[in-house]
Structure 1
Amino acid sequence: MSTDASIFVRDTLSGEPVEVGRDGSIGLYVCGPTVYDHIHVGNARAPVFWDSVVRYLRGRGYEVRHVQNITDIEDKILARAAEEGVSWEEIVARYTESFHETLDLLGVARPDVEPRATEYVPEMIALIEELIQGGHAYAPGNGDVYFAVESYPEYGALSKQRPDEMRGPEEGADSGAAEHKRSPLDFTLWKGSKPGEPSWESPWGTGRPGWHLECSAMVEKHLPGGADIHGGGSDLRFPHHENERAQSRCAHPEREFVRAWAHHGMVGFSEGKMAKSTGNILGVDEVVERHGRNAVRMWVLQSHYSQPIEYSEDILAEKRRSYVRLVRLYRSLSGSRGDSDLSAKLAADMRRKFDSAMQDDLNTPEALAAVFEAARQAGQEISTRPGAAEEFASLKEALEDIFGVLGLDLGEEFRSDVLLNGDDDTGQHHVMVRYEEEPRQDVLERVARREHSRRRKDFGTADRLRDELAAEGWIVEDSPEGPFVGRGGV
Structure 2
Amino acid sequence: MLQIYNTLNRSKQVFTPLVSGQVKMYVCGMTVYDFCHIGHARVMIVFDMVARWLRASGYEVIYVRNITDIDDKIIQRAIENGEPIAALTQRFIDAMHADSDALGLMRPDQEPRATAYIEQMQGMIGRLMEQEIAYQADDGDVNYAVRRFLGYGRLSGKSLDDLNAGERVAVGSGKRDPLDFVLWKSAKEDEPSDTRWQSPWGEGRPGWHIECSAMSCALLGQHFDIHGGGADLQFPHHENEIAQTEGALYGQDRSDSDTPWVNYWMHNGHIRVNQEKMSKSLGNFFLIRDVLQQYDPEVIRFFMLRAHYRSPINYSDVQLDESRSGLARLYTALAQANGMAAPAKQDASFAAPWVQRFNAAMDDDFNTPDAIAVLFDLASELNRKHAAGEFDAVHALTQALQSLASVLGFLERDPSAFLQGGNAGELDATAIEEYIAARAAAKQAKAFEKADAIRADLLKQGVVLEDKPGGITEWRRA
Partner of 1:44: 41
The corresponding residue for 1:187 is: 181
Find 1:401's aligned residue among 400, 403, 422. Answer: 403
Q: Give the structure-1-normalised TM-score.
A: 0.83
Q: 2 CA distance for matches of 1:169 and 1:315?
A: 36
Comparing 233-242 with 279-288, greater Cα deviation is found at 279-288
Give the C-alpha shift of residue 368 in structure 1. Answer: 1.3
CA distance in 2, matches of 1:484, 1:393: 25
1:10-409 equivalent positions in 2, closer than 5 A: 10-22=5-17, 23-168=20-165, 173=170, 177=172, 179-194=173-188, 195-197=190-192, 198-224=195-221, 226-253=223-250, 254-334=258-338, 335=340, 337-338=342-343, 344-383=348-387, 385=388, 387-389=389-391, 391-408=393-410, 409=412
Query: Is the 2:24–2:225 Cα contact (8 Å) retained in structure 1?
Result: yes
Tell me if structure 1 keeps the 8 A contact 2:185–2:207: yes
User: 1: CA distance between counterparts of 2:117 and 2:262?
Assistant: 20
Structure 1: unaligned runs, 5 residues or longer: 1-5, 419-429, 436-445, 452-461, 476-482
Aligned residues: 440
- Offset, 1:142: 2.4
Gapped regions of structure 2 (runs ≥ 5):
251-257, 445-450, 456-462, 474-478
- 1:489 pairs with 466, 472, 477, which one? 472
Which string of whole-angstrom CA distances, capped at 9 and with x for unpartnered residues, describes residues 62-83 of structure 1?
0000000000000111111122
In structure 2, the residue matched to 1:431 is 426
Query: Conserved in 1, the CA contact under 8 Å of 2:439 and 2:454?
Result: no
Given the alignment of the two structures, is residue 410 of structure 1 paired with residue 413 of structure 2, yes or no? yes
Distance 2:344 2:328 in 1: 24
Q: CA deviation at 1:61?
A: 1.3
How far apart are residue 51 of structure 1 and its match?
1.1
1:245–1:257: 8 Å Cα contact kept in structure 2?
yes
CA contact 1:336–1:390 (8 Å) conserved in 2: no
User: CA offsets per residue over residues 290-326 of structure 1, 9 Å max, x none?
Assistant: 2211111111111110000011111101101111111
Match of residue 422 from structure 1? none
Counterpart-to-counterpart distance in 2, 1:432 and 1:139? 64
Please state whether the residue corresponding to 1:212 is helix, strand or coil. helix
**Closer, same or farther: CA 463–94 of 1 in aligned 2, 3 Å:** same
* RMSD of aligned residue pairs (Cα, Å): 2.9
Q: Partners of 1:400 and 1:219 in 2: how far apart?
A: 35
**CA separation of 1:368/1:131 partners in 2, compared to 1, >3 Å: closer, same or farther?**
same
- Residue 390 of structure 1 deviates from its aligned partner by 5.4
Which secondary structure does the structure 2 equivalent of 1:362 belong to?
A: coil
Amino acid at match of 2:14: E
Is the 1:474–1:485 contact (alpha carbons within 8 Å) kept by the matching residues of 2?
A: no
Contact 1:225 1:256 survives alignment (8 Å)? no
Percent identity reads 37
Cα distance in 1, alignment partners of residues 213 and 220 from structure 2? 10
Tell me the distance in 1 between the aligned counterparts of 2:122 and 2:443: 69
